[in-house]
Amino acid sequence: MKKETKRLLGSLAIVAGALGATTALLKKKSVVKPIPHKTDGNPGDVWARPGMTVTFRAELMPGREREERTFRVTKLLPSGRVLLDGVAGEHAEKEFNPIR
């Protein structure tokens, strides 16, 4: 192959790669949607809300019936943890039975 042909093919390969990378970047930007900002009026998708009842997993409170392990949520904290009525401390979602 002549030197000019090799140079031309190399240049075409670089241009094709740059075009492919640009296309992939543009597609990715159009697919990714911005995360809506959470406000005090719109807490978004959370696992618990004030006033609802949650039940501790039986492994955390052995020997107690379901009713004795059920408490009411008083406050949802920004970290995703909750404060409960009648129980001290902050509690995370993994401490409770899944909501059915």
Distance (Å) of CA 31 to CA 18, 23, 25, 47: 20, 13, 10, 27
pLDDT at 47: 85
Residue ranges of the chain whose pLDDT lies below 70 = 30-44, 100
pLDDT at 43: 58
pLDDT at 65: 92
Which two tokens mark 42? 């719109």
pLDDT at 100: 67
Q: Structure pTM?
A: 0.55
pLDDT at 24: 86
Whether 95 and 81 have beta carbons less than 8 Å apart is answered as: no
pLDDT at 74: 95
